[in-house]
């Protein structure tokens, strides 16, 4: 495991008789975005709290940027940015003051801190609201301030719990860009989310948890190589069906979004498309139905509801 990343083995944490984390293994290397996905109540927030030093595990071995979050909490906090799923702060503080609390905590020199705060307020488009109390912010604006707060001290490890929730479409696209840039800059980023289609475009790897256990670790490139459903739509439905029949390619019911066909690999998908076009089918759309991560997730968590 690289120096600046996260490694967690056999992490366990119970609240009374509720076992939130049973046996979690998670690696989040530096320079990559690791998605943390799982059903409601599967332990994602609990795990992120452990990594952020805010909750002690009952058992297990955890290293965040090389340090133990229990015995070396201060060192971990100095290197970790944490964005909780719900932004909490005193509503009377202004956006700028909220960020200043963090720069003061980390004893950043004033001039550098102010420059950093200005940059981040610009990054999350809160410059106009910089000196307004946070209680006037909308939910999405609070989320964006929460993201800025997590990044103020330029942490090596970034933990984001449902960062996209409440964000409008443009802010979501921007969040994706910010998260990718963090990984490119060599940070270890962990993002929990239920919006799997978004993670497809943001994450390099996915750790899937259910009932407090790690049940799968996937790299998104691998997942893309698996068989999946594709959707094909043609201007002329009859010629599409005729061509699929003639070539013995099974297909599902049709609707205005086209027909679904099962295809084993991207190479085969290219062959099918080529064949349809050379048969003269006026194909207007040909694309995977649903994201790769969504498919894997649904298959893995199917029997756990
Ligand atoms: N402070 C607490 N006291 C008691 N039980 C808790 C506490 N925090 C979490 N739990 C329980 O631990 C389990 C895991 O909760 P957690 O919040 O980690 O799930 P999650 O995966 O983040 O869910 P979601 O997708 O809904 O955010 C749940 O059964 C929850 O009820
Ligand atoms: Mg949660």
What is the per-residue pLDDT across 258-297, written as a single tens digit (0 to 9) for each? Answer: 999 999 888 899 999 999 999 999 999 999 887 778 878 8
**Predicted TM-score of the model (pTM):** 0.88
Ligand 1 atom nearest to CA at 47: 18
Nearest CA to ligand 1 atom 27: 40
The DSSP line for 8-33 is EEEEEEEETTEEEEEEEEEEE-TTEE
Rounded distance, CA 254 to CA 269, Å?
Answer: 19
Q: Tokens 């990044």 belong to which residue?
A: 151
Class of domain 225-301: alpha beta
Condensed to tens digits (0 to 9), the pLDDT of residues 186-219 reads: 999 999 988 888 888 899 999 999 999 999 998 8
For ligand 1, atom 7, which residue shows the shortest CA distance? 15
Among residues 148, 147, 146, 161, the alpha carbon closest in space to that of 192 is found at: 161
For 47, the token pair is 């795990």
With beta carbons less than 8 A apart as the criterion, state whether 251 and 263 touch. Answer: no
Q: In testing the pocket of ligand 1, which one of 23, 44, 46, 162 has its CB within 8 Å of the most ligand atoms?
A: 46
Q: How far apart are CA 228 and CA 211, in angstroms?
A: 27
Q: Residue ranges per domain, the chain?
A: 6-221, 225-301
Give the residues across from 218 on adjacent strands: 206
At 284 the pLDDT is 96
Structural class in CATH, domain 6-221: alpha beta
Average pLDDT over residues 52-71: 97
Q: Whose CA is nearest to atom 25 of ligand 1?
A: 40
User: Which residue from 15, 82, 86 has its CB within 8 A of the most atoms of ligand 1, so it is best to mutate?
Assistant: 15
How would DSSP label each residue in 42-110? SSHHHHHHHHTTSS--SEEEEEETTB-TTTTHHHHHHHEEEE-SS----TTSBHHHHHHHHHHHTT--H
Q: Is the CB of 17 under 6 A from ligand 1?
A: no
Q: What distance in Å separates the CA atoms of residue 177 and residue 91, rounded to the nearest whole number?
A: 29
pLDDT tens per residue across span 129-167: 999 999 999 989 999 999 999 999 999 999 999 999 888
Going by alpha carbons, the residue nearest to atom 1 of ligand 1 is 15
| Residues with Cβ within 8 Å of residue 103, at least 6 apart in sequence | 113, 116, 117, 152, 153
CA 84, CA 223: separation in Å to the nearest integer? 29
Mean pLDDT of the chain: 92
Q: Is 38 in the pocket of ligand 1 (CB under 6 A)?
A: yes
Q: Is 45 in the pocket of ligand 1 (CB under 6 A)?
A: yes
Helix (H, G, I), strand (E, B) or coil at 205: strand
Ligand (nearest to CA of 42) = 1
């Amino acid at each position: 495991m690289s120096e600046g990343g996260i490694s967690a083995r056999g992490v366990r944490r119970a609240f009374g008789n509720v076992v939130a984390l049973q046996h979690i293994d998670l690696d989040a290397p530096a320079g990559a975005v690791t998605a943390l996905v799982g059903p409601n109540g599967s332990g994602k927030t609990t795990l992120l709290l452990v990594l952020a030093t805010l909750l002690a595990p009952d058992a297990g071995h955890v290293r965040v940027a090389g340090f133990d979050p229990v015995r070396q909490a201060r060192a971990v906090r100095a290197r970790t940015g944490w964005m909780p799923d719900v932004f909490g702060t005193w509503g009377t503080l202004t956006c700028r003051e909220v960020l200043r609390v963090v720069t003061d905590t980390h004893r950043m020199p004033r001039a550098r801190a102010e420059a950093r705060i200005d940059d981040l307020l610009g990054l999350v488009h809160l410059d106009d609201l910089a000196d307004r109390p946070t209680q006037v912010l909308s939910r999405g604006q609070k989320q964006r301030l929460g993201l800025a707060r997590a990044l103020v001290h330029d942490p090596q490890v970034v933990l984001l719990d449902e960062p996209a929730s409440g964000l409008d479409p443009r802010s979501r696209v921007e969040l994706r860009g910010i998260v990718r840039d963090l990984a490119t800059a060599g940070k270890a980023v962990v993002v929990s989310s239920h919006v799997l289609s978004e993670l497809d475009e943001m994450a390099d790897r996915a750790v899937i948890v259910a009932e407090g256990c790690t049940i799968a670790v996937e790299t998104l490139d691998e997942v893309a190589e698996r068989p999946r459903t594709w959707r094909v739509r043609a201007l002329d439905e009859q010629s599409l069906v005729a061509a699929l029949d003639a070539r013995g390619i099974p297909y599902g019911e049709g609707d205005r979004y086209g027909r679904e066909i099962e295809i084993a690999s991207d190479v085969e998908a290219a062959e099918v498309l080529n064949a349809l076009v050379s048969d003269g089918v006026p194909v207007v759309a040909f694309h995977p139905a649903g994201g790769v991560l969504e498919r894997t997730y649904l298959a893995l968590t199917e029997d756990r509801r």
